[in-house]
Amino acid sequence: MATWTRKLQECEGDYHFDGRGVITQGVANALTSPEIAEIYRDLLHVVEAENGVDYLQVYESDDGRVVWCICQLSGRMKRSGEFTEEQLTDYDYWTMLLPLEY
């Protein structure tokens, strides 16, 4: 199994990746379940340690594969009152995808 490392983020943010998680077909085909779980555990750990991160988190494996995790709603957006509860339910998700799927 490959080892995955989170790349340094380029921007600060208050994204918490606490909505529904979506994994694309490309990730499901290219990574094993333990690899997906490893990335997810690390993502949750860094979000908690930093009290929020940039909307884009990039992971690279020791064999050169790259995975992106993109969050849709920041903490500020969730607290803003700009969204109805229904919209928050619909839009509060994050996606794990391969860069070529973007």
- Residue spans per domain, the chain: 4-101
- With H, G, I as helix, E, B as strand and everything else as coil, classify residue 101: helix
93, 21 Cβ separation under 8 angstroms: yes
Alpha-carbon span 90 to 12, nearest angstrom: 25
Task: Show pLDDT as tens, one digit a residue, over the chain (102 residues).
Answer: 789 999 999 899 999 999 999 999 999 999 999 999 999 999 999 999 999 999 999 999 999 999 999 999 999 999 999 999 999 999 999 999 999 999
77, 38 Cβ separation under 8 angstroms: no
pTM of the model: 0.95
